[in-house]
């Protein structure tokens, strides 16, 4: 394959996939965007940027074959599966394996998978959370089946301040940002654009990144400091409040379990300074606010 060969991006209409599509296109790399609904507005926006839309579904492995024909590499985001009882580990792992098997069958040597940040010290000593278990299985399978595998493990996204769809946590309502984390302890976060930057770096130099797993973060302000920065940047007064155990439990066992583990000492552990050597333009929270975050937050916080 040559630099003129396309990269297939899965999850292309989502946050990480969309950011990666745009980053690769900016540097002139041909991109195939895997979508299920080519007529959707999100898919149309990708096509307008210059991506070639290809239809495919992880639950229909045969549909992946044409999408993978002739590609130089794949950027994958595990397609999370949810059932009535929460995340479905087995189904998520099956979907990830289907993509990896299809890539291997097509002779694709490089796959960059973005999964989820690990925690220290418990990541290797426990089976992980429901959200991490499927991704851990996909990572293991990736290293077994693909010649040039790279795993990206991003921490919490800076864009989460714009809302994640989870009522009662990680959104800003009534001038208050509510989350699980201690108010005065540094909390790692990453800009979506930087996940895309690391993916682009890996595709530009496959041998350098082959076999590597990168825990990704770009900054670590405390929740109180982050809210203060948003207040200064937007002019909208805000404060931070840590959820109680009872409030976390009311939001579900997954949220409650995360809080218990965090209270017990689990932490993300990206080496931000080492990452900055690899990617000198790694964005801080202030960078994200200056570039787009403050305007987006101001519009959201003052709406209505």
pLDDT tens digits for 52-64?
Answer: 999 999 999 999 9
CA distance 275 to 135: 22
Q: What is the CATH number of the domain that holds 204?
A: 3.40.50.720
Give the 3-state DSSP-derived string for 76-98, with helices as H, strands as E and coil as C.
Answer: ECCCCCEECCEECHHHHHHHHHH
Q: How far apart are CA 244 and CA 54, in angstroms?
A: 45
pLDDT in tens, 142-178: 999 999 999 999 999 999 999 887 788 998 999 999 9
In a domain, 2, yes or no: no
Rounded to 5 degrees, φ, ψ at 177 are -100, 120
What span, in angstroms and rounded, lies between the C-alpha atoms of 29 and 277?
24
Query: Percentage of the chain surpassing pLDDT 90?
Result: 81
- The reply to whether 258 falls in a domain is yes
Quick check: is 1 in a domain? no
41 token code pair: 């507005």
- Tokens, residue 86: 């929460």
Q: Which residue range is the domain that position 38 belongs to?
A: 7-301
147 touches 137 (CB < 8 A): no
Angle between helices 15-26 and 192-204 (to 10 degrees): 50
- Any residues with CB less than 8 A from the CB of 118 and at least 6 apart, and which? 132, 153, 215, 268, 269
The percent of the chain in helix, strand and coil, each rounded to the nearest 5, is 45, 20, 35
Q: Is residue 256 part of a domain?
A: yes
Instruction: Let me know if residue 18 belongs to a domain.
Output: yes
Residue 268 lies in a domain: yes
What are the pLDDT digits (tens) for 203-230? 999 999 999 999 999 999 999 999 999 9
57 belongs to a structural domain: yes
8 A C-beta contact, residue 191 and residue 288: yes
What's the rounded Cα separation, in Å, for the pair 129 and 82? 14
Tokens representing 147? Answer: 């010649």
State the residue for tokens 């080519």: 38
Domain assignment present for residue 127? The answer is: yes
Task: Give the total number of structural domains in the chain.
Answer: 1
pLDDT (tens digit, 9 = 90+) per residue, 114-136? 999 999 875 444 445 656 888 99
SS3 state at 216 = strand
In degrees rounded to 5, what are phi and psi of residue 180? -85, -15
pLDDT in tens, 16-61: 999 999 999 999 999 999 999 999 999 999 999 999 999 999 999 9
Instruction: Name the one residue in this structure whose structure tokens are 């087995």.
Output: 90
Q: How many Å apart are CA 131 and CA 128, to the nearest integer?
A: 8
Q: Structure tokens of 71?
A: 């590609």
Pairing verdict, β 172-173 and 176-179: antiparallel
């Amino acid at each position: 394959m040559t630099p003129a060969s396309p990269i297939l991006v899965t999850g292309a209409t989502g946050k990480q996939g969309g950011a990666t599509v745009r980053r690769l296109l900016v540097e002139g790399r041909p991109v195939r965007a895997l979508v299920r609904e080519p007529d959707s507005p999100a898919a149309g926006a990708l096509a307008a940027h210059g991506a070639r839309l290809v239809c495919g579904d992880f639950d229909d492995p045969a549909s992946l074959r044409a999408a993978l024909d002739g590609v130089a590499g794949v950027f994958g985001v595990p397609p999370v599966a949810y059932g009535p009882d929460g995340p479905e580990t087995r189904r998520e792992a099956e979907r990830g394996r289907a993509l990896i098997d299809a890539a291997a069958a097509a002779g694709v040597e490089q796959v960059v998978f973005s999964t989820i940040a690990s925690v220290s010290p418990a990541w290797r000593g426990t089976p992980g959370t429901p959200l991490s278990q499927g991704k851990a299985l996909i990572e293991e399978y990736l290293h077994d089946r693909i010649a040039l595998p790279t795993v990206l493990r991003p921490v919490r996204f800076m864009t989460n301040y714009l809302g994640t769809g989870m009522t009662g946590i990680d959104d800003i309502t009534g001038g208050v940002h509510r989350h699980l984390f201690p108010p005065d302890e540094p909390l790692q976060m990453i800009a979506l654009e930087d996940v895309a930057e690391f993916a682009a770096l890996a595709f530009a130099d496959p041998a350098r990144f082959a076999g590597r797993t990168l825990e990704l973060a770009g900054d670590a302000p405390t929740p109180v400091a982050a809210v203060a920065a948003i207040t200064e940047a937007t002019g909208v007064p805000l404060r931070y409040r840590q959820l109680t155990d009872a409030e976390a439990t009311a939001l579900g066992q997954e949220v409650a379990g995360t809080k218990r583990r965090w209270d017990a000492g689990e932490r993300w552990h990206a080496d931000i300074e080492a990452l900055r050597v690899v990617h000198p333009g790694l964005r801080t929270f202030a960078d994200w606010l200056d570039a787009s975050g403050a305007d987006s937050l101001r519009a959201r916080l003052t709406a209505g």
